[in-house]
Structures are given as C-alpha cells and as structure tokens.
Amino acid sequence: MTTNVRKEVAVITGTNSNLGLNIAYRLIESLDSSKRLTIVVTSRTLPRVREVIGLLKKHVIKLNKPLGTVDYDYLLVDFTNMVSVLGAWYELNKNYKAINYFFVNAAQGVYDGIDWVGAVKEVCTNPIDAVTFPSYKIQRVGVKSKDDMGLVFQANVFGPFYLLRKLLSQLEAGKARVVWVSSIMAEPKYFSPKDMQLLESNSSYEGSKRLVDLLHVATYQELKKRGIHQYVVQPGIFTSHSFYKYLNIFTYYGMLLLFYLARLLGSKWHNIDGYKAANAPVYVATLANPRFDTQNVKFGSATSFDGMEFIEKTPLDPTGSSDVHHYIEKKCEEWDVKLKDQISNTRVPI
Ligand SMILES: NC(=O)c1ccc[n+]([C@@H]2O[C@H](COP(=O)([O-])OP(=O)(O)OC[C@H]3O[C@@H](n4cnc5c(N)ncnc54)[C@H](OP(=O)(O)O)[C@@H]3O)[C@@H](O)[C@H]2O)c1
C-alpha cells in the first residue's frame, strides 16, 4: 500500500468538449501511485457534467487504476455571466485550499453557419489552407452578453481571467500549472487594440485567441514569481462537437477526408483526434520543466503524416500585450466593485 499519497486538484473548463475530455483522460493516464487526483468537471449544465463523470469513470476502469486514484467534483459556470463566474470562485474557494492544474479550455464563437460558396472556392484553390485557416465560417458581429460586454471576449478571455485572478492564492498554494488553450488561428491580424471587446470584428473567435496569447505574454512572468507556471498551447485541428450542427453526413465525412488529406500532404496541425490534440495541454501541465522550457512560446499538438504525435513550439508576437493586460485589469477592478455585494452570508442566525 502506498503511504504519503499526494492529493492534487485539476479544474478543466468545458470538460465535456472533445478537447476537455481528452485532457482529463491524459491527465489521469499520467498519474502514478503517489498521487490522488480530484478532477473538477465544469459545464454550464448538469446533464453534461453527469455524462462526463460517467465517461471518466469508465476510462479509469479501462486503465485499471486502483480504486480511489481519481475523485470527481463539478462546477456549473457560464463565463458570459459574471455572477456565475463569481459563484464559481466562491465554490472553488470554499472547497479547495490548493489547485494544482487549471485548464482554460472552454470557448465559444458566435457562428451563424457556413458560407458554402466561399468554402467550395477555398477548398478548390487551396485545400490545405481551407481546412487549416478556414475563413468561410460566418460569425455574427457586435454580439453582447447580458453583462454588456462582447460575448466572445467575455466567454473566452475576460470571464476565465477574472476567475483565475480571484483564485490566485489557491493557485499559489498548489504551485499550479495554468494552461490557456489558444489556436493556430490566433494571428495578430484578427485583433485591433481599438476593439478590445471584439465587437466590431467578424472574426471575434480568432481575435479572442489572440487576446489569450497576449494576456499570457503579459502575465506569465509575474505568476512565475508566485510559483504559478502558466503556459499557452494550441491543439491543432481536430473534430469539434460544436460544429456538427452545421454539417450533414456528407459534409462531415468530406471534412474528415480533407483533414486526412491535409495530414498526408504534410500538415502537422491536423491532429483530427481530440486525444492527440490534448498532447500539448497535458505535456505543459505535467512534463514541461519551467526552468528549461521557455514559457514565451506557444506549445502546439502536432502529428506527423503517419499519425505519430509530437510537440511543436511556435513564437508569440507580443505586440500590444501590456495594453491588453492594462485594459483587462481595469475591467477586473470595475467588476470587483460591481460584484462586491453579490455574495453575502445568508445563514446568519436571526
Ligand atoms: N476544434 C478545433 O479544431 C480547435 C482548434 C483550435 C483551438 N480549439 C480550442 O480548443 C478548445 C476546445 O475546443 P472543442 O472544439 O473541443 O470545444 P467545443 O466542442 O466547441 O466545446 C466548447 C466547450 O466550452 C464550454 N463553453 C462554451 N461556452 C461556454 C461559456 N459561456 N461558459 C462556460 N463554458 C462554455 C462548453 O461547455 P458546456 O456546453 O458543457 O457548457 C464546451 O464544453 C477551445 O478553447 C477551442 O477554442 C479548437
């Protein structure tokens, strides 16, 4: 029997997504007998939490891990609702003194379908680019949350940043690895400092990932001083549940065929499988050594033409990172004031 078992806590936002679930699988696989891991599954809805915990339990059985190696907890949070974000902090703060891993994986776009004419043109002129940097996904412009912020900005950047900022003491106590999931689409051209909340952009999803990169660049060194190691990763391209609704059986298999073709023709980013896509997020969380592995790059999940997975680093363009950080910190301070009376002790005896 193992004594001195070290208890660890991992929060994975959007655990029910293809990537989120595979991050959890790989994290469980990385466990040795000296550790006992609590996975905090997050979703906006309870049925999805139940579904994910069921899948994780099956995975633990499949791996033959001893009983009690993995514990499960859950958190309902909607990052487009600051009261919900504060509630998430309240729950985590109440339940955990230390958090060891925090994966910012949940994300959303404001998609409105596919420009099929544009898609066919892109596929015919450059099939690899068409399935690597697609520009035919139509995104609505100017969509705001009920909190009156850019919806995609709040969901993918501000909401998670605010939660992490409030959890600093737990992250410090757990010498945490914080992993932000970005994208290969996070190019500087998708973000303008004049439109911090991405309200004028027709590429708000890509812009939000650029903001993630810039926030990481602006904050990882300060966090390191507190013993928190933050990384930014990109999972390449893989099948996503959220886009199924725009595809039928023919377009779905057509897309898969193009993905495999792209990989055969040399695209290293076509991981296709969520498990391979989760390679970089779990690598930086469990294997990267902050003393030698620079944090000033984006760690990517890559796959060779014959399906072998590997990690590939790409440089991060830091232009504008301090302005972004300054803007978001100011917004956090505004929300600290707006939310200050939200949580009160209602159990005081009368
Ligand atoms: N698919 C790709 O090829 C690709 C490429 C590059 C980067 N990525 C990134 O990889 C990550 C996972 O992608 P995926 O395709 O696996 O995810 P997905 O299927 O699109 O699922 C999105 C996840 O985010 C959660 N979520 C969405 N909006 C939320 C909100 N407002 N508040 C809280 N949670 C919210 C959802 O949780 P519930 O619905 O359960 O609430 C769901 O688990 C994302 O960060 C994505 O940007 C994906």
Q: Is 270 in the pocket of ligand 1 (CB under 6 A)?
A: no
CB 332 within 8 A of CB 219: no
Q: What is the pLDDT of residues 327-346, one digit of tens each?
A: 999 999 999 999 987 766 55
Catalytic annotation, pick one of 25, 190, 205, 283: 205
* Average pLDDT, rounded, for the chain: 92
Atom of ligand 1 nearest to the CA of 48: 40
- Mean pLDDT lowest for which of 120-124, 186-190, 252-256, 283-287? 120-124
Residue nearest atom 21 of ligand 1, based on CA coordinates: 17
168 pLDDT more than 80:
yes
Residue nearest atom 26 of ligand 1, based on CA coordinates: 106
Which residue, among 74, 17, 57, has the nearest Cα to 278 in the 3D structure? 17
43 pLDDT more than 70:
yes
- Is residue 209 among the annotated active site residues? yes
In this prediction, residue 348 has a pLDDT band, given cuts at 50, 70 and 90, of low
Q: What is the pLDDT of residues 302-331, one digit of tens each?
A: 999 888 999 999 999 999 999 999 999 999
Which residue, among 286, 324, 278, 322, has the nearest Cα to 303 in the 3D structure? 278
Catalytic annotation, pick one of 182, 201, 203, 267: 182
In this prediction, residue 204 has a pLDDT band, given cuts at 50, 70 and 90, of very high
Q: Is 235 in the pocket of ligand 1 (CB under 6 A)?
A: yes
Percent of the chain with pLDDT over 90: 73
- Is residue 94 among the annotated active site residues? no
Q: Is 75 in the pocket of ligand 1 (CB under 6 A)?
A: no
293 pLDDT more than 90:
no
pLDDT at 349: 60
pLDDT at 3: 60
Atom of ligand 1 nearest to the CA of 154: 31
In angstroms, the CA 334 to CA 245 distance is 37
Q: Give the predicted TM-score (pTM) of the model.
A: 0.94
Q: 182 CA distance to ligand 1 centroid (A)?
A: 11
Average pLDDT over residues 198-204: 96
In this prediction, residue 294 has a pLDDT band, given cuts at 50, 70 and 90, of confident
pLDDT at 84: 97
DSSP of 217-284, one letter per residue?
Answer: HHHHHHHHHTT-EEEEEE--EE--GGGGGG--HHHHHHHHHHHHHHHHTT-TTEEESHHHHTHHHHHH
Q: What is the pLDDT of residues 242-282, one digit of tens each?
A: 777 778 888 888 888 888 888 888 889 999 999 999 999 99
Which residue, among 243, 264, 350, has the nearest Cα to 307 in the 3D structure? 264
Mutate to test the pocket of ligand 1, among 56, 103, 108, 256 (most ligand atoms within 8 A of CB): 108
Q: Is 295 in the pocket of ligand 1 (CB under 6 A)?
A: no
1 pLDDT more than 80:
no
Q: Is 183 in the pocket of ligand 1 (CB under 6 A)?
A: yes
In this prediction, residue 240 has a pLDDT band, given cuts at 50, 70 and 90, of confident
pLDDT at 236: 95
Integer CA distances (angstroms), 341 to 78, 86, 165, 178, 345, in order: 19, 11, 18, 29, 10
Residue 52 has φ and ψ, to the nearest 5°, of -65, -45
Q: Set out the domains of the chain in order of their start, with CATH numbers.
A: 6-108+145-236+279-292+315-338 (3.40.50.720)
- Is residue 244 among the annotated active site residues? no
2 pLDDT more than 70:
no
Mutate to test the pocket of ligand 1, among 17, 147, 157 (most ligand atoms within 8 A of CB): 17
Residue nearest atom 7 of ligand 1, based on CA coordinates: 183
